Amino acid sequence: MLKKTNRLSLVDQVISQMEQLIENGHWPVGHRLPPEMVLMEEFDVSRNTLREAIQALVHAGLLESKQGSGTVVRSTSVLEAAILRHVEKTGLMETLEVRLALEKEAAQLAAKRRTEEDIDKLQAAIAKCRDAAERRQLEDFITADIEFHKTIVQASKNQLLQDLYEHMTKPLYSSIKDLMAMDTQFCYDKEIHNELFKAIRDQDVEAAVNDVNEYIAQFKKRLT
The verdict on residue 81 lying in a domain is: no
Are 105 and 214 members of one domain? yes
Please give the full DSSP string across 108-172, using - where no structure is assigned: HHHHHH--HHHHHHHHHHHHHHHHHHHHT-HHHHHHHHHHHHHHHHHHTT-HHHHHHHHTTHHHH
Are 71 and 118 members of one domain? no
Are 64 and 115 members of one domain? no
CATH (domain of 211)? 1.20.120.530
User: Do residues 72 and 66 touch, judged by C-beta distance below 8 A?
Assistant: yes
Q: What region does 63 belong to: left with phi over 0, alpha with psi -120 to 50, or beta?
A: beta
Are 108 and 156 members of one domain? yes
The verdict on residue 85 lying in a domain is: no
Using DSSP's 3-state secondary structure scheme, residue 191 falls into: coil
Phi and psi of 60, rounded to 5°? -75, -15
Q: Which domain holds residue 38?
A: 10-75
What is the rounded CA–CA span in Å between residue 54 and residue 152? Answer: 36
Q: Which residues contact 45 (CB under 8 A, 6 or more apart)?
A: 10, 14, 53
- Residue numbers of the chain with a pLDDT score lower than 50: 1-7
How many domains does the chain divide into?
2
Q: Examine the fold and report which residue of 75, 105, 123 is the final residue of a domain before the chain moves on.
A: 75
Q: Examine the fold and report which residue of 22, 41, 75 is the final residue of a domain before the chain moves on.
A: 75
The verdict on residue 128 lying in a domain is: yes
End-to-end CA distance of the chain: 59
The verdict on residue 215 lying in a domain is: yes
Residue 187's pLDDT is 54
Query: What torsion do the CA atoms of 25, 31, 36, 42 make, to the nearest 10 degrees?
Result: -20
CATH (domain of 20)? 1.10.10.10
What pTM, to 2 d.p., does this model score?
A: 0.69
Are 46 and 107 members of one domain? no
Are 181 and 121 members of one domain? yes
161-191 per-position pLDDT tens digit = 998 888 777 777 777 777 776 665 555 565 7
Are 49 and 147 members of one domain? no
What is the rounded CA–CA span in Å between residue 109 and residue 43? Answer: 44
Are 168 and 206 members of one domain? yes
Residue 184's pLDDT is 57
Are 155 and 58 members of one domain? no
Q: Tell me how far the alpha carbon of residue 92 is from its chain's centroid.
A: 16
Q: Examine the fold and report which residue of 45, 75, 105 is the final residue of a domain before the chain moves on.
A: 75
